[in-house]
Amino acid sequence: MKKTIKKIRGGWLRELAGELRFIYGYAVQHRFEVLLYMLIGVLSTAMSLGAALLSKHIIDAVTGKDTNAIIPAAFFYLTMHILSIAFNAFSSRINARIQLKVEQDIRADVYDSITSSSWLSLGAYRSGDLLSRLESDVSVVSKSVLGWLCDIVTKLIRFIGALSIILYYDPPLALISLLAVPFSVLLSQLLLRKLRTFSVEMRKAAAELTSFSEESFAKISEIKSLGLSEAYRQKLRQQQDNYKQKYLKYVSFSVSLTAFMSVIGTAVAGACFLWCAWRLWEGVITFGTMTLFLQMSGTLSGSFSAILSTIPSAVTSAACAGRIKAIMSLEKENTEDSQKAQELIEKGNITVEAKGVSFSYDSSATVFENTGFIAKPGDIVGIVGASGEGKTTFLRMLLGLVSITDGSLCVGSCDSQKINISAGTRKLFSYVGQENIMFNTTVRENMRIVCPEASDEQIIDALKSACAYDFVASKPEGLDTVIGDSSKSFSQGQLQRLSIARAILCKRPIMLLDEATSALDEKTERMLIESLADCASSRTIIVATHRPGILKLCNKVYRIENSRLTLQ
């Protein structure tokens, strides 16, 4: 006992208990729905036990030729069976509705948690792994809220009810019926940890398979271009083999456990039958009582086995809950200054300033050390430097995606109000990155993602400012042209201009461009630069680039070298 308590306090059982509490927390949130489902299950159980009791009286009435007792007993027996069927049907319908609601609530919570987590903490997970946790793990956990959690309660009530009936009529039979209990408890104690290990490994293998498939589809063009289709087909089969091995181990273990429990249950049922037959031979009980005993002993051992059979599903649910908890416990972004940032937008004339800033992704790789920077309203600031020196990292710092390790990085207005840059100040910036970040929807909806109230006229003006209107207007669907996942409707240069148009449309005071014209020809780039210059009077533009055409437009150029920003 002491060893068991020690395990619970400091080992995997404590972790398992925490994961089950996580599931219980959602059951509490939906307590009214869960209690309704449990109540229906309890009523159905009561009808079944009542029907078993009535069957005893019917058999005794028939064998005793008591015609006056047969009809009312048969009537109530039939009524209880009909009610039990009705309760089960109603329970299934309620279960479907409640489970959908619970699943949607949990998935929304997990999605909110993922999207509010810091960029660096999310970087430890592959996108397919996050998708697996959001979809399959959430589905398993939501089913468990009404599944094994409610099943344990209803089966426990069935167990107690059957035990009470047997104890009332024949206490020794109750002891015989409970012979399986010590074996079952000991077995579950010995095998629970192994079952959890198999479950965790299986979920991890499933997540890896999802990640591989998701990333393969996302990079299908690159895979084909590099002639890697056959290699990736082989990799998929390797991932499938890995999952199959983990899954079959889990299933084999679960089946063996269930089979062992069935053997014990069969032995107990045989012992109960022999006891009842002997009691009937001795004339201690009637034939109807023997029928009741056999039903109740079967219900007793069956209910207990059913309670134990929920252990595999409970362990699987706990493993999924643990994976979800890991995501929901990630470090969250700091958005406390969101309202202050909004006040800055209303005041205008926003300056970006860095003083003595240091930053590193980890302790061994310093990106910036004691560096400074300033950009005022109307400035067009160029950021140059060799690849890997930190141009993109600096823009991430401005966006609050990463936090500085030392110094001051802030935004401020003309009245000297200053706010440290964080996720809360992100609304001050519009951003155009190196990669395509257009979404799988129409051009119009891509524009309105950042400015929902924008009219078609405003969208067209932004497209014209980004030299993008002509190629959009040439499409048969115009603004309703769907960009699509692989962006087949537009070239990379066109997508860059669409991204810039979106940044112009949202009218945020500071625009960040990260190699945003890398796919443009010189003529188009020059036209775009001239158009951006017209926007610079009302906002600050910070450009990370290698292109000399853009640098000619800048009134300030900072070079990154030796972990510092140096004004040229």
pLDDT tens track for 56-106:
777 777 777 666 777 777 787 788 878 878 887 887 888 888 888 888 888
Residues 211 and 351 in one domain: no
Q: Place 13 in a pLDDT band, splitting at 50, 70 and 90.
A: low
227-249 core/surface letters (b: 16 or more CB in 10 A; e: else): eeeeebeeeeeebeebbeebeee
Distances (CA, A) of 454 to 136, 255, 260, 457, 504: 37, 60, 67, 8, 12
Name the most confidently modeled range: 342-351, 453-462, 542-551. 453-462
1 lies in a domain?
no
In this structure, are 239 and 378 located in the same domain?
no
Average pLDDT, the chain: 81
**Same domain for 433 and 554:** yes
Per-residue pLDDT at 55 exceeds 80? no
**What confidence score (pLDDT) does residue 8 get?**
45
Domain ends where: 328, 356, 380? 328
Domain end residue (candidates: 328, 353, 388):
328
Q: Are residues 241 and 357 in the same domain?
A: no
Residue 398: per-residue pLDDT: 92
Query: Do 258 and 376 sit in the same domain of this protein?
Result: no
From 328, 358, 387, the end of a domain falls on 328
Q: Quick one: angle between helices 287-328 and 12-29, nearest 10?
A: 100
- 178-207 residue pLDDT tens: 776 676 667 666 666 677 777 778 878 888
* pLDDT for residue 453 is more than 80: yes
Q: Is residue 5 part of a domain?
A: no
The reply to whether 323 and 416 lie within a common domain is no
* Interaxial angle between packed helices 67-116 and 31-63, expressed in degrees from 0 to 180 and rounded to the nearest 10: 160
Per-residue pLDDT of 104-115, as tens digits, reads 888 899 999 988
* Whether pLDDT at 151 is above 70: yes
pTM passes above 0.85: no
In a domain, 3, yes or no: no
Q: What is the pLDDT of residue 240?
A: 87
pLDDT for residue 414? 61
Domain around 546: 338-567
Beta strands in 244-362 (DSSP E): 351-362
The single-letter code of the amino acid at 318 is: A
The 10s digit of each residue's pLDDT in 211-264 is 788 778 777 767 776 677 888 888 888 888 888 888 888 788 777 777 776 777
Give domain status of residue 6, yes or no: no
Q: Which residue has the higher pLDDT, 420 or 45?
A: 420
Same domain membership, residue 152 and residue 23? yes
Per-residue pLDDT for 338 more than 80? yes
Query: Could you tell me if residue 425 is inside a domain?
Result: yes
In terms of domains, do 280 and 419 share one? no
CATH number of the domain where residue 484 is located: 3.40.50.300
Identify the pLDDT of residue 1.
44
Residue 127 placed within a domain: yes
pLDDT at 69: 72
Q: Identify whether residues 356 and 431 lie together within a single domain.
A: yes
Residue 53's CATH number: 1.20.1560.10
Q: Residue 131 pLDDT > 70, yes or no?
A: yes
Q: Do 298 and 343 reside in the same domain of the chain?
A: no
Q: pLDDT tens-digit profile of 306-331?
A: 776 677 777 778 888 888 988 888 88
* Higher per-residue pLDDT: 42 or 191: 42
* C-alpha pair distances (Å), 362 with each of 332, 404, 405: 19, 12, 10
Same domain for 354 and 495, yes or no, is yes
How many domains does the structure of the chain reveal? Answer: 2
Does residue 221 lie within any of the structural domains?
yes
Residue 525 lies in a domain: yes
321 and 342 together in one domain: no
